[in-house]
Structures are given as C-alpha cells and as structure tokens.
Amino acid sequence: MDNDIIEKIHKFPFPLLYLLVKEACAIMGQIEKVHAANFHYTEPRVIKIKELYRI
C-alpha cells in the first residue's frame, strides 16, 4: 500500500481504519488480477465490477 494512502487514513479510529485498509488491499488485489489477465488500459479510470470479473 502506498505511503500517501497510509498518511491520509492513519488518524481514523482503529475499527474504521481497519476497514479502510482492508478495502484498499482488496481493491489493489483486484487491480493486480486484472493486470495479470492482460487487461491493460492507457489512462487511469474507474474499473467497473463487471470488468473485474468479466461478466
């Protein structure tokens, strides 16, 4: 996880902090899976759920 993300969320109460970090890690894992499946894009954009699972 990037340090800038950690710096922005470190002041939240622990239960909320835990949920934010867990969600950020899950999203990063999904992005890595998409990249591993040779799904490349040229500009940053929001990835739709159906694109992650190729529904």
pLDDT in tens, 4-35: 777 777 778 888 888 888 888 888 888 888 77
- Torsion, Cα of 47, 15, 8, 26 (10° steps): -20
Reported as a pLDDT band with limits 50, 70 and 90, residue 40 is low
For residue 52, the tally of other CB atoms under 10 A from its CB is 15
Query: In sequence order, what are the residues at sequence separation of 6 or more whose Cβ sits closer than 8 angstroms to the Cβ of residue 39?
Result: 51
Query: In sequence order, what are the residues at sequence separation of 6 or more whose Cβ sits closer than 8 angstroms to the Cβ of residue 47?
Result: 30, 31, 34
pLDDT the model gives residue 51? 66
In angstroms, the CA 26 to CA 30 distance is 6
